[in-house]
Amino acid sequence: MVSATRLDALVIGAGFSGLYQLHCLRDRLGLTVKVLEAAPELGGTWYWNRYPGARCDSESHSYCYFFSRELLEEWEWSERYPGPPEILRYLNHVADRFDLRRDIRFGTRVVAARYDEAANRWSVETESGERYLATYLVAAVGCLSAASIPDIPGLEDFAGRWVHTGEWPREGVDFRGKRVGQIGTGSTGIQAAPVIAQSAAHLTVFQRTAQYSVPARNQPLSEAFRRYVRSHHEEIREVCRSTPNGHPFRIAERKVSDVTAAEREAIYEAAWEKGGLQFRATFRDLVLDKAANDTAAEFIKAKIREIVRDPETARALADIDHPYAAKRPPIDTDYFETFNRDNVALVDLRADPVERITPSGIRTRSREHPLDIIVFATGFDAMTGPLLRLGIRGRGGLALAEAWRAGPSTYLGLQVPGFPNLFTVTGPGSPSVLTNMPIAIEQHVEWITGCIGYMRRNGVACCEAEPAAAAGWDEQVNEAANKTVLALARHSWYFGANIPGKPRVFMPYAGGLARYRAICDDVAARGYAGFVMA
């Protein structure tokens, strides 16, 4: 049997979460730590998602770590929204600066993690058979790292090439002269289609769910803005930490009903011109009240009808069946305009569903669409998928998959009863995907570090969420979602609806990051109330 590496802590994943967790546990608490990462390089999401048009929707000056003043001062972003190459340069800079690479093992996929009760430690196995023994196990595997390919009959017969945006080939894909079919019109599909259309001979976009999208209006950052960022790190950090979504702008105090219809339209128009996720922040009741939301929804639908010239295509694109921002709200660069190109067609799958993939393309009910390349922009088995793929077993050999048979249950998205000393960064039940994630990640990593530090100072060997605390938190997660329009889009991936057989449970905590932070801080201040500290 291969000898096992013994550690205080093992971290899985080398994206934003894993890198910072390594730094905190190793350099602040002085623990022996290793990070295992399946990819050959660091970067997580931004290593895997290099599809054409890939770009962050968070604004660059807030999509970063805030824990180190020096780091903030020495890094400058070049564009309003950074793309994968720039984010990867940033994360590599972070890794170099804090000397992280020496404790990361790349190309190492975790396939099993068992809790050994007698020894109170985790035994972790990798795909190549290596073993690691660690007191603390931190799953920093991301919310969106388990790519999902829909089960469409015939894919294995397809004679052309197919790719998933979340596992994009590093050498890229040459679309020149090719007939391309794109399945999926979420945030990723909306980014990819305009860029694919520029080089492909023809692009067919297969749409199951029509989506709202607001222009991103990406641009190089002006010297004046960079100067502002350089001298306002503290204020930017404060805004991000105190708003519900962790973005660097505040949500307006006004409600839709506080203004006249003409004022409202002018506000939307200005937000549309400014671009980006700030559109959602124009009124405080947009995500709380369906009637208020309808006004934003109608505004965007009218824009779609105005932009897209072909009336039938415009109708299908604007035929949106959920409230604005109830699904992850995309922002785009020329998405709707792309449908005015001669080489782009939309297939509305609600009217003309896919029957199968054939050797030469995709057959929908009405006809065959000949294709050379199929691009799956079909997203992820979000939030629970990456955790379940770790093969985790806790007390008494209980599989995480079994514990979560009816849907994920966690305490604060940080721990699962029955799985002692296992911490999840941005796990289900945390604000995670509803936020500008580096802000949420810093909060989680710092809380986990604080908790482990407390355990070591107080001779606590084992930290485990109480079942009652988890049940209470699950209820709060549900309640928080039910107070918003997010609960009205039951076919969203927030509910797991994109994965056949996945329990329909609203997974992220919609009560806001600031509120969540206060709850976590309070739990810690009360001696980790709701956790058994044995």
Binding site for ligand FAD (CB under 6 A): 12-18, 36-39, 44-45, 47, 49, 54, 56-58, 109-110, 140-142, 144-145, 166, 188, 386, 389-390, 425-426, 436-437, 441
Q: How far is the CB of 17 from ligand FAD (least distance, A)?
A: 3
* Cβ closest to ligand FAD, residue 313 vs residue 430: 430
- Picking from 482, 470, 495, the residue whose alpha carbon sits closest to that of residue 409 is 470
Beta strands in 291-436 (DSSP E): 331-332, 344-348, 354-358, 361-364, 368-370, 373-376, 392-393, 422-424
In which region does residue 288 sit, left (phi positive, over 0), alpha (psi from -120 to 50) or beta (all else)? Answer: alpha
Place of tokens 């922040």: 281
Check: CB of residue 224 under 8 Å from CB of residue 261: no
Q: How far is the CB of 281 from ligand FAD (least distance, A)?
A: 15
Q: How far is the CB of 38 from ligand FAD (least distance, A)?
A: 4
* Cβ closest to ligand FAD, residue 418 vs residue 431: 431
Integer Cα distance of 9 and 31 in angstroms: 7
Exposed, middle or buried: residue 54 (CB in 10 Å: 0-12, 13-18, 19+)? Answer: buried
Q: How far is the CB of 103 from ligand FAD (least distance, A)?
A: 14
* Cβ closest to ligand FAD, residue 127 vs residue 174: 127
SS3 285: coil
H-run or E-run covering 301: helix 290-307
* Cβ closest to ligand FAD, residue 328 vs residue 502: 328
Q: How far is the CB of 46 from ligand FAD (least distance, A)?
A: 6
How many angstroms separate the Cα of 88 from the Cα of each of 64, 170, 281, 377, 463? 11, 13, 29, 21, 34
What value does the CA radius of gyration of the chain take, rounded to a whole number of Å?
23
Q: How far is the CB of 520 from ligand FAD (least distance, A)?
A: 17
* Cβ closest to ligand FAD, residue 34 vs residue 208: 34
Q: How far is the CB of 101 from ligand FAD (least distance, A)?
A: 14
* Cβ closest to ligand FAD, residue 361 vs residue 386: 386
- In b/e form, how buried is each residue of 150-172, taking b as 16+ CB within 10 angstroms? eebeeeeebebeeebbbebeeee
* Cβ closest to ligand FAD, residue 147 vs residue 505: 147
* Cβ closest to ligand FAD, residue 140 vs residue 344: 140
Half-sphere exposure of 485 (CA within 13 A, CB side): 23
* Cβ closest to ligand FAD, residue 188 vs residue 293: 188
Q: How far is the CB of 139 from ligand FAD (least distance, A)?
A: 8
* Cβ closest to ligand FAD, residue 13 vs residue 244: 13
β-bridge partners, 392: 113
Integer Cα distance of 135 and 121 in angstroms: 4
Q: How far is the CB of 42 from ligand FAD (least distance, A)?
A: 7
Check: CB of residue 423 under 8 Å from CB of residue 415: yes
Task: Record the tokens describing residue 429, joined without a space.
Answer: 């039940």
β-bridge partners, 332: 215
Q: How far is the CB of 425 from ligand FAD (least distance, A)?
A: 6
What single DSSP character describes residue 78?
-
